[in-house]
Amino acid sequence: MFRSLFVSTVVASLTLCAVALPSASLNARATDIDDITILNYALTLEHLENNFYHDALAKFDQKAFQKAGYPDYVRERIVEIAAHERSHVDFLAKALGSKATQPCSYKFPYNDPESFLALSGIIEGVGTSAYSGAAPFIANKDYLAAAATILTTEARHASWVTAAANKMAPWGKAFDTPLGPNEVYTLVAPFITSCPKTNPKLPVRAFPTLTLQNAAPGQLAAVGAPSNLKPTYIVFFNGLEKTFVPITNGKVKIPAGLKGQTYAIATKNSTDASDDAIVAGPAILVY
């Protein structure tokens, strides 16, 4: 129960971090994205994860994890995950050669092993959703196969951290939740403080921030979005399901059947959750 509440607190802190998102002028569409672009998109995410684990391990030694109440194997597994992320960076950078994007500067909202592990589970979940959503863009079968092997590893990371470290359910529904490049960029942009000017431009943009206050299943949650957007529906992405729920008097009823890491976006209609229809979000919910 404690770990569940702690993860909810970290999710709330991510919402606060997302207030000032960097944006790009382009929108991610299939016509904009070739294999080199999608590999650099993947490498951008892997650089972020690699830095996330490297810095946390440098900051928190075994004694820090022990003091926080974790058995020794928790940090030992995190060391393994960090090595995997480093291998993903090396693999993608080698495939891209001189076209490879370089690491950015990052800032993550954790200050102890508990908040680090809570954020780890969320980031690994976003990584799993990112690779799932990127698959349709990949034309080269060899690249697609390589991306699939990274995807399955990311999913194992997410499952292990969520269950073994954070003491929550290791998975949600029978299918993971795919997210498009713009949705993923919206979620990771708050962690990026600056990037080398020489990095290739990705055809992505960040959507405005969406917040859902007190988002318990089956309960009413207050919807927060820029006032000029005036969304009328919240769409919950959970596995392959998209559930449209109307906003009434500034509140939305959270569906009762959500499981695992869920994403919510705001739209102005009851049928379309594509990038053209999104006005804010995603927000992350964890059940």
Q: Which residue has the tokens 């994890």?
A: 65
Residue 223 exposure: Cα atoms within 13 Å on the Cβ side: 28
What is the structure's pLDDT at 32? 66
The arithmetic mean of pLDDT across residues 5-30, rounded, is 47
Q: Are strands 251-253 and 261-267 parallel, antiparallel or unpaired?
A: unpaired
Q: Is 165 helix (H, G, I), strand (E, B) or coil?
A: helix
Q: Residue ranges of the domains in the chain?
A: 2-194, 211-286
pLDDT higher than threshold 70 for residue 276: yes
What is the structure's pLDDT at 227? 80
Fold of 2-194: Ferritin (1.20.1260)
What are the residues facing 237 on neighbouring strands? Answer: 242, 263
What is the structure's pLDDT at 44? 98
Specify the higher pLDDT residue, 26 or 98.
Answer: 98
Condensed to tens digits (0 to 9), the pLDDT of residues 166-200 reads 999 999 999 999 999 999 999 999 999 999 999 99
Q: Which residue has the tokens 């919206």?
A: 186
What are the residues facing 267 on neighbouring strands? Answer: 233, 278
Averaged confidence pLDDT in the chain: 92
